[in-house]
Amino acid sequence: MTDDKSPSDRPRRIVLTGAAGGVGSMTRPLLAPLYPGLVLSDRMEPKDLQPGETFVKADLTRPEEVAAAVKGADGVIHLGGHSVEGSWDQILNANIIGCYNLFEAAHRKGVKRIVFASSNHAMGFHPRKTKIGVEAVPKPDTRYGLSKLFGEGLGALYAHKHGMGVLSIRIGNFGDKPVDQRRLAIWLKPDDLVQLIRIGLEKPDLVYEVVYGMSDNKRAWWDNSRALALGYSPTGQSETFAAAALEAQKALPKDAIGDYFQGGSPFCSQEFDGDFGRLKKLP
Ligand SMILES: NC(=O)c1ccc[n+]([C@@H]2O[C@H](COP(=O)([O-])OP(=O)(O)OC[C@H]3O[C@@H](n4cnc5c(N)ncnc54)[C@H](O)[C@@H]3O)[C@@H](O)[C@H]2O)c1
């Protein structure tokens, strides 16, 4: 997305949930100049609050705290939640009830835009040999991945029924660089995530869209043409790091199931007692 807006044209008050987490901590310095007065929210206070940032403590499972956090916001970047596989109770509370509380509070408080951090694990049981677009059949690899489909569904509901603009970003692997073979396909550079967030918060007339949160990766398993059509122009190229990532891969244990499917190890292989032979015959 081109930098064609002055700060005064941008949405005024943006709330970042999950601000104390890994993605939140690395994107805060990139978001702060774009959205002055960025409001950080989490159930834990980030250690290094910067001048100009404010923190509102909110547990996503408590509707009144979530409502207080999003009050007066123009847009919300929703990163908060349980970010790996967990027990049903953990997923139900943080990602199902918590995500519902977030969308419902945002709707009641008149928030216009939500960017939802979905995950590649919503589609994890697609084989690596098959390139998929955003419209492919959902194949979650975990309760966690399933909860991300619920969040995407919430986004579609609130966008179409209540007039919100919502972008679900199926994040691959966020970080400074791709560190193994799988991540060469799914890596997302922090600046590229910020580009996608800006599309979600600022693109005029956005209703509801799903995109893959990946950089310009030569080995990609995903067709991200919808993101490109929305103005995404990723700058990260995982291939730059290919030699080191492939070398690091050699030290990792083999996982027949995890290595076959997009969701990888351990997401696809943990608790697996399905029929791998039958799954391998699928396209
Ligand atoms: N890191 C990645 O590569 C990646 C990939 C795909 C999707 N995502 C998604 O992006 C988001 C951020 O990921 P991350 O790696 O920073 O995760 P993280 O676990 O580091 O951060 C998540 C944050 O959410 C907060 N949180 C959890 N439960 C909460 C609750 N009940 N109330 C309030 N806050 C709560 C935690 O305190 C934490 O700070 C998550 O939604 C994750 O599922 C991340």
What pLDDT shows up at residue 51? 86
93 Cα nearest atom in ligand 1: 31
CA of 283 to the centre of ligand 1 (A): 32
Mean pLDDT of 232-240: 98
Pairwise pLDDT comparison (53 vs 120), residue with the higher score: 120
Q: What is the mean pLDDT of residues 3-15?
A: 74
Q: How confident is the model at residue 47 (pLDDT cuts 50, 70, 90)?
A: confident
So what's the pLDDT on residue 52? 82
Cα distance between residue 88 and residue 9, in whole Å? 42
How big is the CA angle at 14 (ends 9 and 18), to the nearest 5 degrees?
A: 150
Q: Which of 35, 100, 144, 232 is catalytic?
A: 144
Question: What is the pLDDT of the chain when averaged over all its residues?
Answer: 96
User: Residue 30: pLDDT band by 50, 70, 90 thresholds?
Assistant: very high
Return the amino acid letter for 262: Q
Which atom of ligand 1 approaches the CA of 118 most closely? 7
Evaluate if residue 161 carries a pLDDT over 90.
yes
Residue to probe by mutation, ligand 1, list 65, 82, 83, 177, most atoms within 8 Å of CB: 83
Phi, psi of 252, rounded to the nearest 5 degrees: -90, 145
Considering the entire predicted model, what is its pTM?
Answer: 0.97
**What's the pLDDT score for residue 11?**
75
Which residues make Cβ contacts (< 8 Å) with residue 65, sequence separation at least 6?
A: 57, 58, 59
Taking residues 22-33, what's their average pLDDT?
96
* Token pair recorded at residue 169: 């970003």
Check pLDDT > 60 for residue 275: yes
Which residues are paired to 125 by β-bridges?
none
Going from the Cα of 42 to the center of ligand 1, the distance in angstroms, rounded, reads 9
Residue 146 CA to residue 122 CA, distance in Å, equals 6
Ligand 1 centre distance from Cα of residue 94 (Å): 10
Residue 21 DSSP class: S
The confidence score (pLDDT) of residue 7 equals 63
Q: Which amino acid makes up residue 164?
A: M
Q: Per-residue pLDDT tens for 176-223? A: 999 999 999 999 999 999 999 999 999 999 999 999 999 999 999 999
Rg over alpha carbons for the chain, rounded to the nearest Å, is 18
Which pLDDT band, with edges at 50, 70 and 90, does 244 fall under?
very high
pLDDT at 8 over 80: no
Ligand 1 center from residue 20 Cα (angstroms):
8
User: Which residue's alpha carbon is at the smallest distance from atom 23 of ligand 1?
Assistant: 18
Provide the pLDDT for residue 10: 75
Q: Which residue has the higher pLDDT, 106 or 11?
A: 106
> Is residue 64 scored above 70 in pLDDT?
yes
77 pLDDT tier (thresholds 50, 70, 90)? very high
**Does position 3 have pLDDT exceeding 90, yes or no?**
no
Res. 278 pLDDT band, cuts 50 70 90: very high
Looking at residue 12, its pLDDT comes to 85
Closest residue by CA, ligand 1 atom 39 = 21
**Whether residue 167 has pLDDT greater than 70:** yes
- Is residue 2 scored above 80 in pLDDT? no
